């Protein structure tokens, strides 16, 4: 079942951050992942306007995400991200029990 990574970040040092983004595409691909969106404009429909960068990745399953995240090359690339941005990274699995016929009480 497809599993998604939603990353929302504030970039403080674009030049340093590019050292992260230059390295990530082949590592994502190595684990069967693909970018659904990568820094495109985000429109806030309700609530406080979101002004950060958003990336959404799709992987075949949670195990693929864990392997990608723990890959030594990705761990090395993350050092550049940590030094140049702050981020929230979320993992969401597709096909939950309440998606096909949603229970209105949940």
Question: For residue 71, what are the contacts with CB-CB under 8 A and spacing of at least 6?
Answer: 27, 30, 31
Domains of the chain: 3-42+50-93 (3.30.70.100)
Question: What pTM was computed for the model?
Answer: 0.86
Per the listing, tokens 């941005």 go with: 85
Per the listing, tokens 């690339």 go with: 77
pLDDT digit of tens for each residue in the chain (106 aa)?
899 999 999 999 999 999 999 999 999 999 999 999 999 999 999 999 999 999 999 999 999 999 999 999 999 999 999 999 999 999 998 766 666 677 776 6
What is the reported pLDDT for 97? Answer: 63
């Amino acid at each position: 079942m497809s599993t998604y990574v939603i990353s929302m970040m504030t970039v403080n040092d674009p030049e340093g951050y590019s050292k992260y983004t230059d390295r990530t595409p082949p590592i994502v691909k190595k684990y069967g992942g693909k970018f659904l969106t990568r820094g495109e404009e985000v429109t806030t429909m309700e609530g406080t306007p979101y002004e950060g960068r958003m990336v959404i990745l799709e992987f075949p399953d949670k195990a693929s995400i864990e392997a990608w995240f723990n890959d030594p090359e990705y761990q090395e690339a993350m050092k550049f991200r940590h030094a140049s941005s702050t981020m929230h990274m979320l993992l969401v699995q597709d096909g939950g029990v309440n998606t096909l016929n949603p229970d209105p009480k949940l």
